[in-house]
Homo-oligomer: A and B are copies of this chain.
Amino acid sequence: MSAQLDPVLAQIDAELPAALDRLSALLRIPSISTDPAFKDACDTAADWLVTDIASIGFEASKRPTPGHPMVMGHAEGAGPHLLFYGHYDVQPVDPLDLWDNDPFDPQIEDTPKGRVIRGRGTSDDKGQLMTFVEACRAWKSVHGTLPAKISLFFEGEEESGSPSLIPFMKDNAQELTADIALICDTGLFDDNTPAITTMLRGLLGEELTIEGPDKDLHSGMYGGAAINPIRVLSKIIAALHDEDGRITVPGFYDDVPELSNAQMAQWQDLGFDAKGFLADVGLTTPAGEAGRSALEMVWSRPTCEVNGITGGYSGDGFKTVLPSKASAKISFRLVGGQDPWKIREAFRKMVQDMLPPDCTVTFTDHGAGTASTMSTDNPMFEQARLALSDEWPRPAAFVGCGGSIPIAGHFLDILGMDAMLIGFGRDDDLIHSPNEKYSLESFHKGIRSWARVLDKIANG
């Protein structure tokens, strides 16, 4: 810890009410990226950020894309060049009647687990994004300069599939390339333990539609003689796992690595409460591969899940229809070196091979991304880990993440730079759901954490 840090932390503490006001102003802009009705709001949120970071001293610009704009900011400083990424767009708010308050009129609330700010985007990702902005503001206001060269990169399409991201990264590769990328869109390990996410699962999304008869039939007239696509689809889904919960797509496990002993030991030390993790959602028994812990199941093992299924009549009452088609959306979470495109082909072939006569299948590609494993050899990972450990009750951990954050992989693949994922979200933040919130402790200690990380990386 350098002598520079203490006055910055004091400034952050003093400035917290003003920082909350700024966050609230950003939260009041309904920047739902997936809904064209909110296109202007997305633009307004980008403008707000340009103005705000310019006021800190960043050379700021709103950058058009075919979708919502990107926001870029650059500020010189001694030390390494850090690129910070966050996103200013938010998820839709339906069903609106499940919100206790207007999702775009954020309120501070006392809860049994501490004070929170409640509203859409508080945790995902406006509140997290602003932790870094506020750390920069505090540093600049105390020292008149930043401890490192810092670029800010805010996206407005993260919640709608990031269609403009890769082209923008390719078109602006030089401007975006830094010594490391910092991403604030993840969570704490638990309320007391900060985390740096170093393993992210990849994702392969597939939709398949099985068609049999060329129209819906009456199950009295044709039942028995006509093939039923729901039955065919169910049989395919049932065959995707064996009795031990392993996925049966040929070659699926070819590039799935085992954890190193060191990584396994570190995860064991975390004392992950598998029982509580499952009990939170009404479950008792890990449902994945036999012989694996719940933490492995969600962090380091691949999965195959059915995310949706539909066919025939599913309204009230009963209709004796024999439907002409049935569909399912299936996603694979991938780890290590698994190749999503190879797995897609193997999956599609397996389905084709299972089709009975008179059935056809149509596949819809819902995206593919490899898993990312960060190279923690980069000394900035250990510097960040120590910095976070100074702020929080328990030491920071290198953790896995069951979800997919494609941007981390893009930084590596397109720009050749490592990405360090540090975030302060909590499991009960209700992101993507009604009544989303962000803990004020996460916001406050998040700002302080970034100040410490900047200090440690810049000043050692």
Contacts and interface: CB of A to CB of B under 8 A. Distances in A.
Interface string A261-304: 00000000000001001100111111111000010011001110
B298 A322 contact: no
Contacts of A201: 220
A219 B305 contact: yes
A190 B48 CA distance: 73
A320 interface: yes
A364 to B, nearest CB: 9
Contact of A283 (B213, B239, B302): B213
Contacts of A212: 282-283
| Chain A interface residue bracket vs B | 35 or more
B227 A283 contact: yes
A288 B225 contact: yes
A241 B309 CA distance: 20
A225 B277 contact: yes
A235 interface: yes
Contact of A401 (B220, B278, B328): B220
Contacts of A328: 230
A352 interface: no
A283 B224 CA distance: 13
Nearest to A283: B358
A203 interface: yes
A362 interface: no
Tell me whether chain A's interface is mostly helix, strand or loop, or mixed. mixed
Contact of A224 (B234, B235, B309, B333): B333
Interface string A311-322: 111100111111
Contacts of A10: none
A297 B224 contact: yes
Contact of A214 (B205, B230, B281, B323): B281
A222 B298 contact: yes
Interface in A84-121: none
Q: How many copies does the complex hold?
A: 2
A119 B223 CA distance: 26
Interface string A193-212: 00000000101010100001
A274 B225 CA distance: 9
A286 B289 CA distance: 38
A241 B231 contact: yes
A167 interface: no
B333 A220 contact: yes
A426 interface: no
A262 B74 CA distance: 91
Contact of A223 (B320, B323, B333): B333
A318 B205 contact: yes
16 contacts: A207-B318, A213-B283, A219-B305, A224-B333, A225-B288, A226-B283, A228-B287, A228-B306, A230-B237, A234-B238, A234-B309, A235-B238, A306-B312, A313-B329, A314-B327, A317-B366
Given A201-B220, A219-B305, A225-B288, 17 more contacts: A203-B320, A214-B281, A217-B281, A218-B432, A220-B333, A224-B297, A227-B285, A230-B237, A231-B237, A231-B241, A234-B238, A307-B319, A307-B320, A308-B311, A309-B310, A313-B329, A318-B329
Closest 7 CB pairs of A and B: A220-B403, A214-B282, A308-B312, A224-B297, A234-B237, A238-B238, A310-B314
Interface of A: 201, 203, 205, 207, 212-215, 217-228, 230-231, 233-235, 237-241, 274, 277-278, 281-289, 294, 297-298, 301-303, 305-314, 317-323, 326-329, 331, 333, 356-358, 366-367, 401-404, 427, 432
